[in-house]
């Protein structure tokens, strides 16, 4: 029977795969009673069926497009991807990028993945990189980047019949080749359905291809019905036959020229945008009145997901955003990313009840968050109070200003930074470009403009009536004492406390941060003694530990966070050539890398790294004054 797409956004989490290993060391799915790859030579089978029969690498040499895109049913152990990545490294033109999209209903646990891939020592380097980046088993899209964003993987966890409609609206006419994999049709009939083949056809570019290990008659007929010209080829090893095919459609245009994009801003949002654009070959002009001089300028910042007891759109977004940010920082700025873990204390009854609901919800994988008893909390670090807590094991902290500067350096020669007086206005020119004007009457023209201006967002977008709010926050740096200096992780309560860093020869922590909606805009950077006291008293009250009373303030910094009424970022395009990335609030270092990828993917017509319902939730138009 034909399965129709489920158009609702599922809140159920994917069950991880249950596997055993046979006497040849090959993983076997308990769910489907089938092997993940060929008993004799799984890597040779991947190369033969999927790489050779999609005419790779010949097509990489002749492609009209700067990015070659492959989609796959059934990520499994990632063997097809690793074989493809290895061949791409060896044979693709240096200017070309690879975008690999894969769907997986039952993600393997990391330990099983590592054991399975250990059978292929020639792939060890690539397998190690994949294991480092491998996301938590959470429903939705997880974008991973390798080789300085030359190789991008979108791994969609969940039932393919639910995930394809979240992906396909932004993926039509984008795919060059399909790897039609997954367990055999007689073992996994639910996947091998006509709507999958129809989605394959809709997503393919002209002369798109597919290859599959099976030669089942029903598969051949349904692929033909979807529009593919299907032929049989000799199967791998002892298999007699396999299928391959092509689809002819209206010819696609070649990749657009490398147009310069102008970005307004100097914080983490602007830096991530510059990086995403330059790695795709686009020159970027960054116009700013200062690098990391706003909310991105604090000494230390925590990176962890924002979770609710139910998988709300907010939680779903931050699950994907966090996993991408973690992988982005550890691959691009490894010296600045400190994966210490983050512990969130249940310092009162209300917070404890909220955390119990999150822990009991079953919504989140243990790699993302786990629940601790009071005893376990003190096992993590004895000077903590005996309180229950949530622990985010893969979370951590980074130095914001140094990180922004490093990302901008990584952009290389395609990035031009122009430090100017404060930007006061943007306006449309007679030729539909944009003019940027500063307080010193400097003027710049941009054919494509992205506003990533943080606290200045509402002013610059006044004519669109985009309503964001600025919230003043003051962070206090304190000198470490003998106890605090041993703090191994970020500690959150009503505020937060970071591990010690060397600050000009003195060990210091960051304690923060106040949250004031009412402030004087002309003097928001002035240090308020009452805010310093509030930061210290909150730490002392919530932790109730003697060592907290010995901490001495040595520095303070105040800045503005730009927030939205629903706490989701503003990320999208107001016109074809005016984009917005703002409203990141206090979690900009968690959300900015994925938002930048989303905005750039939208501009270039690429498959996007979030489900369509979430993309709509982020659209800046929702914040227009008359849309509340």
pLDDT of residue 255: 61
pLDDT of residue 25: 77
Place of tokens 């010193």: 440
Look at residues 242, 269, 268 and name the one whose alpha carbon lies nearest to residue 404. 268
Report DSSP letters for 243-262, one per residue.
EEEEE--SPPPPPPP---EE
**pLDDT of residue 7 exceeding 50:** no
H helices of 34-156, in order, are: 42-46, 58-62, 79-91, 110-117, 124-133
> What's the token pair of residue 525?
């950077």
For tokens 């999208």, the residue is 572
Is the model's pLDDT at 24 over the cut of 50? yes
Report the C-alpha gap between 38 and 26 in whole angstroms. 8
623 contacts 570 by C-beta, under 8 angstroms: yes
pLDDT at 252: 66
What per-residue confidence (pLDDT) applies to 627? 62
* DSSP string over 437-491: EETT--EEEESSEEE--GGGHHHHTGGGTB--EEEEEEEEEEE--TTGGG--SEE
Which tens digit of pLDDT belongs to each residue from 423-470? Answer: 999 999 999 999 999 999 999 999 999 999 999 999 999 999 999 999
Please give the pLDDT value at position 256.
Answer: 62
CA-wise closest residue to 472 among 527, 408, 397, 399: 527
Whether the Cβ atoms of residue 368 and residue 384 lie closer than 8 Å to each other: no
Q: Is the dihedral of CA 165, 166, 167, 170 positive or negative?
A: positive
Residue 268 in contact with residue 592, Cβ under 8 Å?
yes
pLDDT for residue 3 is more than 70: no
Q: What is residue 8's predicted lDDT score, i.e. its pLDDT?
A: 33
Higher pLDDT, residue 77 or 9: 77
User: What predicted TM-score, i.e. pTM, was given to this entire model?
Assistant: 0.94
CB 402 within 8 A of CB 502: no
Cα Rg for the chain, rounded, in angstroms?
25
Helical H runs in 160-299?
Answer: 160-167, 194-203, 217-226, 268-278
Q: In this model, does residue 29 exceed pLDDT 90?
A: no
pLDDT for the residue numbered 185: 85
Q: Which residues contact 7 (CB under 8 A, 6 or more apart)?
A: 165
50 neighbors 76 (Cβ within 8 angstroms): no
Question: Tokens representing 456?
Answer: 């200045």
Backbone angles phi, psi at 271, to 5 degrees: -65, -45
* Predicted local confidence at residue 10, as pLDDT: 40
Instruction: Report whether 104 contacts 29 (CB < 8 A).
Output: no
Cα–Cα distance between 576 and 398 in angstroms, integer? Answer: 34
Region 372-391: mean pLDDT is 97
Q: Is the Cβ–Cβ distance between 626 and 465 less than 8 Å?
A: yes
Q: What is the mean pLDDT of residues 283-292?
A: 96
Antiparallel, parallel or unpaired: β 570-575 and 578-582: antiparallel
**Interatomic CA distance for residues 296 and 66, integer angstroms:** 33
The model's confidence at residue 499, banded by pLDDT at 50, 70 and 90, is: very high
Longest C-alpha distance within the chain, in Å?
79
Q: Give the separation between CA 500 and CA 480, rounded to whole angstroms.
A: 7
Q: What would the pLDDT profile of 568-591 be if each residue is shown by its tens digit? A: 999 999 999 999 999 999 999 999
User: Looking at the chain, how many residues does it have?
Assistant: 628
Instruction: Look at residues 84, 119, 118 and name the one whose alpha carbon lies nearest to residue 101.
Output: 84
CB contact at 8 A, 470 and 627:
no
What pLDDT score was predicted for residue 355?
95
Q: For residue 158, what are its two tokens?
A: 């969940």
- Averaged pLDDT of the chain: 92
User: Using 50, 70 and 90 to split pLDDT, how confident is the model at 16?
Assistant: confident
Please provide the DSSP assignment of 552-586 as one string: EEEEEEEEEEEE-TTSS-EEEEEETTEEEEE--GG
Residue 11 has pLDDT above 80, yes or no: no
Give the pLDDT mean for 80-100.
Answer: 97
Q: Decide if 602 contacts 589 (C-beta within 8 A).
A: no
CB < 8 Å & 24+ apart, contacts of 367-371: 367/110, 367/136, 367/137, 367/393, 367/394, 368/136, 368/138, 368/305, 368/307, 368/319, 368/322, 368/392, 368/394, 369/305, 369/307
Q: What is the pLDDT of residue 394?
A: 96
Hey, which of 186-200, 234-248, 357-371, 537-551 has the most confident mean pLDDT? 537-551
> Percent of the chain at pLDDT above 90?
85
Q: Which residues of 117-127 are buried (b: 16+ CB within 10 A; e: fewer)?
A: bebbeebeebb
Is the predicted pLDDT of residue 1 greater than 50, yes or no?
no
Q: What is the pLDDT of residues 44-60, one digit of tens each?
A: 999 999 999 999 999 99
Q: Which of 368, 296, 374, 288 is nearest to 336 (CA)?
A: 296
pLDDT at 182: 79
3-state SS, one letter per residue, for 262-322: EEECCCHHHHHHHHHHHCCCCCEEEEECCCCCCHHHCCCEEECCCCCCCCCHHHHHHHHHH
pLDDT value at residue 39: 62
CA–CA–CA angle 74, 79, 84 (5° rounding): 100
Q: How confident is the model at residue 609 (pLDDT cuts 50, 70, 90)?
A: very high
Residues 323, 138 contacting (CB under 8 angstroms): yes
Where does the pLDDT of residue 187 fall: very low under 50, low under 70, confident under 90, or very high at 90 and above?
A: confident
Helices (H) and strands (E) in the chain, counts: 17, 31
- Looking at the predicted structure, is the pLDDT value of residue 311 above 90? no
DSSP conformational letter for 504: T
Residue 33 has pLDDT above 70, yes or no: no
pLDDT in the model for residue 26: 81
Q: Which two tokens stand for residue 336?
A: 């600045």
pLDDT score at 23: 79
219-253: per-residue pLDDT in tens?
999 999 999 999 999 999 888 899 999 999 987 66
* CA 602 to chain centroid: 15
* Residue 35 reports pLDDT greater than 90: no
pLDDT at 371 over 90: yes
% of residues, the chain, pLDDT over 70: 96
pLDDT over threshold 50, residue 4: no
Helix (H) or strand (E) holding 377: helix 374-380
């Amino acid at each position: 029977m034909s399965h129709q797409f489920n158009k609702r956004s599922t809140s159920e989490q994917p069950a991880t795969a249950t596997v055993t290993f046979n006497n040849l060391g090959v993983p076997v799915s308990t769910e489907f009673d089938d092997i993940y790859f060929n008993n004799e030579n799984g890597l040779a089978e991947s190369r033969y069926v999927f790489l050779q029969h999609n005419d790779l690498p010949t097509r990489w040499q002749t492609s009209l497009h700067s990015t070659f895109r492959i989609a796959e049913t059934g990520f499994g152990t990632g063997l097809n991807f690793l074989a493809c990545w290895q061949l791409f490294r060896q044979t693709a033109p240096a200017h070309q990028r690879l975008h690999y999209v894969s769907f997986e209903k039952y993600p393997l646990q990391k330990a099983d993945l590592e054991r399975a891939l250990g059978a292929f020592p020639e792939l060890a380097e690539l397998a190690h990189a994949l294991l480092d980046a491998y996301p938590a088993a959470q429903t939705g899209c997880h974008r991973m980047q390798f080789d300085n964003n030359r190789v991008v993987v979108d791994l969609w966890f969940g039932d393919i019949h639910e995930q394809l409609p979240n992906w396909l609206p932004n993926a039509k006419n984008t795919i060059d080749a399909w790897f039609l994999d997954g367990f055999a049709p007689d073992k996994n009939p639910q996947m091998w359905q006509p709507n999958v083949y129809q989605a394959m056809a809709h997503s393919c570019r002209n002369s798109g291809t597919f290859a599959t290990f099976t030669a089942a008659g029903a598969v051949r007929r349904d692929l033909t019905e979807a529009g593919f010209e299907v032929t049989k080829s000799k199967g791998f090893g002892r298999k007699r036959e396999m299928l391959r095919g092509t689809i002819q459609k209206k010819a696609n245009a070649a990749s657009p020229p490398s147009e310069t994009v102008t970005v307004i801003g100097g914080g983490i949002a602007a830096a991530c945008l510059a990086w995403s654009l330059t790695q795709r070959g686009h020159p970027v002009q960054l116009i700013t009145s200062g690098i990391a001089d706003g909310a991105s300028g604090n000494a230390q910042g925590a990176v962890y997901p924002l979770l609710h007891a139910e998988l709300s759109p907010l939680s779903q977004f931050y699950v994907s955003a966090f996993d991408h940010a973690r992988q982005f920082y550890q691959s691009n700025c490894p010296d600045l990313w400190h994966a210490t873990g983050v512990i969130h204390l249940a310092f009162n009854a209300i917070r404890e009840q909220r955390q119990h609901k999150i822990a009991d919800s079953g919504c989140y994988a243990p790699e993302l968050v786990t629940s601790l008893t009071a005893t376990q909390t003190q096992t993590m670090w004895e000077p903590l109070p005996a309180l229950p807590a949530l622990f985010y094991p893969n979370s951590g902290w980074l130095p914001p200003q140094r990180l922004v500067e490093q990302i901008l350096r990584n952009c290389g020669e395609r990035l031009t930074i122009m430090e100017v007086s404060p930007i006061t206005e943007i306006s449309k020119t007679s030729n539909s470009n944009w003019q940027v004007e500063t307080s010193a009457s400097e003027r710049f023209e941009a054919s494509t403009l992205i506003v990533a201006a943080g606290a200045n967002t509402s002013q610059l977008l006044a004519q669109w009536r985009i309503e964001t709010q600025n919230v003043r926050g003051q962070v206090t740096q304190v000198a470490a004492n003998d106890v605090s200096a041993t703090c191994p992780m970020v500690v959150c309560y009503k505020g937060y406390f970071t591990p010690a860093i060397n600050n000009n020869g003195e060990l210091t922590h960051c304690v923060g941060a106040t949250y004031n909606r009412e402030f004087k805009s002309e003097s928001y950077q002035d240090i308020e003694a009452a805010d310093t006291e509030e930061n210290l008293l909150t730490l002392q009250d919530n932790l109730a530990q003697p060592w907290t009373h010995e901490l001495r303030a040595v520095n303070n910094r105040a800045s503005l966070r730009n927030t939205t009424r629903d706490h989701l970022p503003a990320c999208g395009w107001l016109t074809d050539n005016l984009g917005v990335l703002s409203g990141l609030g206090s979690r900009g270092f968690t959300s900015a890398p994925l938002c930048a990828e989303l905005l750039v993917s939208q501009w270039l017509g690429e498959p996007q790294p979030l489900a369509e319902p979430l993309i709509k939730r982020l659209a800046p138009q929702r914040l227009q004054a008359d849309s509340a």
